[in-house]
Amino acid sequence: MSDATPVVLKPGDQAPIFVLTSDRGEDVDLAGFQGKKNVVLYFYPKDSTPGCTIEACDFRDASAQFDQKDTVILGVSRDSLKSHQNFVNKQTLNFPLLSDPDTVACKAYGVFKLKKNYGREYMGIERSTFVIGKDGKIIEAIYGVKVKGHVDQVLNAINA
C-alpha cells in the first residue's frame, strides 16, 4: 500500500461507490440509491462508545426529518456485524450500520487516518459525514465532526 496523498472529497465530487454488508445481513450498494434517494453517509470510530452512541441516537431521533427530505442514513465503522447488531438493538436504531472491516469505504472517503490518543498513535476512523445527492455527487463533506449539533448541520446541508 502506498502512502499517496490522502483523499479529501469536496462538494461536487462524485461519491465513491462501494458495497458493504449491513447489520441486517444485506449487501448495501451505494450505487443503488442514485436517482432515488439522497444519502447521509456517516463514518464513526466504534460501536457503543459515548460519542458514537450520541451521534447514532441523534440520527435516529431525526430520522423522520430525513425521510421527509427523501434521504437515507447509513452509518459505517470497522466493527463486526455482530457488534453492529448489538448496537442497533441496544439503541433501537432505525437505519442500517455497515461493516467495513477492510477499510475499503473508509479509505475511499479519506477517513481512515493516523490518530493520537494519550500519546499513542494508531490508524482509525476520523468521525466524518458525507451528504450525497440523488445524482451521486457530494453535496457536503464534513471531516472531523463534532457530535453536538451535527445532525442539524447535516439537515441544513440537505435543505440548502
Break the chain into its structural domains and give their ranges: 19-159
Mean pLDDT score of the chain, rounded to an integer? Answer: 94
| Contact (CB, 8 A) for 159 and 127 | no
Q: Which fold has domain 19-159?
A: Glutaredoxin (3.40.30)
Let me know if 57 is a catalytic residue.
no
Place of cell 456485524: 81
What would the pLDDT profile of 15-43 be if each residue is shown by its tens digit? 999 999 999 999 999 999 999 999 999 99
Q: What is the dihedral of CA 20, 136, 129, 46, to 10 degrees?
A: 0
The predicted model scores a pTM of: 0.94
Name the pLDDT band for 2 (thresholds 50, 70, 90). Answer: very low
Alpha-carbon distance of 27 to 154, in angstroms, equals 25
Q: Which three cell numbers stand for residue 111?
A: 477517513
Backbone φ, ψ for residue 71 (5° rounding): -130, 130
Name the pLDDT band for 117 (thresholds 50, 70, 90). Answer: confident
Q: Which three cell numbers stand for residue 133?
A: 445527492
CB contact set of 81 (below 8 Å; sequence gap of 6+): 21, 22, 23, 25, 99
Active-site residue, from 41, 52, 125, 131? 52
Helix (H) or strand (E) holding 82: helix 81-91
Alpha-carbon distance of 26 to 70, in angstroms, equals 21
Name the pLDDT band for 4 (thresholds 50, 70, 90). Answer: low
SS (H, E, C) 73-128: EEEEECCCHHHHHHHHHHHCCCCCEEECCCCHHHHHCCCEEEEEECCEEEEEECCE
Mean pLDDT of 42-70: 97
